[in-house]
Structure 1
Amino acid sequence: MLPANVTLQYMREGTKQNVRVKLSLDATVRQVIADLVRDLGLPSTDSDGEPCTYELTYQRQTLSDEARLFEVGVQENAILQLVAVNPNATRSGMALSANVLSRLGGKGSNEPLPIRAELLSRTGRAFPLRHTRALLGRADPALGYPPEALDADLTPLDPERTVSRPHALIVYSDGRFTIRDLYSQRGVLVNGVRIPVNGAYPLDDGDWLQLGEVELQFRCPR
């Protein structure tokens, strides 16, 4: 079990609710929804006796029922929404807007990177970093990670699918770069050393990164 405390947003009798709950990151979305509906005492049918269907959303994306939470980047202090999608339940006020606050660990920031930096593969392929928060991973449109959602889509370098969909985040702040492991399955190594999960680890020009079986050199000449 991989426990994590998250904030859950949902609607009860037309009022938005925010609660802190502990979830298992290795549970499937289907399991999590069933447990939440039961524990929160949410209706399983609407006023007409029709079944209520719920979805779990994260980072403005509806999560696949069979995905495990860690696979889609959910981590400690994440913000999730439990949404009722049955039309009658929606009219009765059970639905919640899928707006998600931007947070660290989500899609990269739109703020332009003020200096030049890139990732270089051993084969010479370059991934320019254009934003102050750059999301690295493997594209999977079915689970809400189309190539354009990633600042560095490593799919072409990862035929064995060893890179997680959201795998790591490179952040530029206060004149320095750091990298975070977003609870990836294979971890993140910097110069051969595995970094702590979700901890900001400093990056310097020339450092070698390993995400799954993919090796990249971080370049940021000053």
Structure 2
Amino acid sequence: MHEPPTVSPRRRMIVGISGATGIIYGLHLLEALSRLDIESHLVITKAGERTLSYETDHTVREVRAMADHWYSDADIGAAIASGSFRTMGMVVAPCSVRSLSAIAGGGTDGLLTRAADVCLKERRRVVLMFREAPLHAGHIRAMAQATENGAIVLPPVPAFYDRPQSIDEIVNHTVGRVLDLFDVDAGLVRRWSGRPEPAADAVERLPEPLEETMPCR
């Protein structure tokens, strides 16, 4: 007698929002996951909630409603704190210095860092959108240690080759590149296909060759 086929579970992604500036990256990531029908599991630290109020007009309740499931950072018994809870992995967007350092050192002082540590021990992908500049040696060592543990440190550095016209376009491109790391094409990235030809008006504005403008000596 044949057993019934196993139904593939819906894909799940953990989203962590810490207290660094750049809350917009986490919000756009939640929106992208919803469009892609990827089940989102959200945890926001207390510092993240505070930064949210500084940088946006959204309330914590509104952001929680953007996710399929949300958890308090103090809830260390949540589903995402266990390796038996299967997920695609986790993105911390944005990732503060404190969260990066805790994840790099295996510290689990809250659910966000615990969930990241669980994903790493289960060999699942963890992407840390580390938002800090300039960097001192301690930051660089923490990034190296997190990378050695299996995480991917992806500072949200904007790309300008696609000539973005708005902040949303800049943010979406970076979010799309983050999802690329999970082999998910969100349709947010304008792919590089080689050096584009300059526009006609740009050609007219090009400066004269340097050797022709230098005075004779």
> What TM-score, normalized to structure 1?
0.24
The structure that is helix-richer by fraction is 2
The structure that is strand-richer by fraction is 1
Q: Which has the larger radius of gyration?
A: 2
Bigger relative CO (Cα 8 Å, ≥ 6 apart): 2
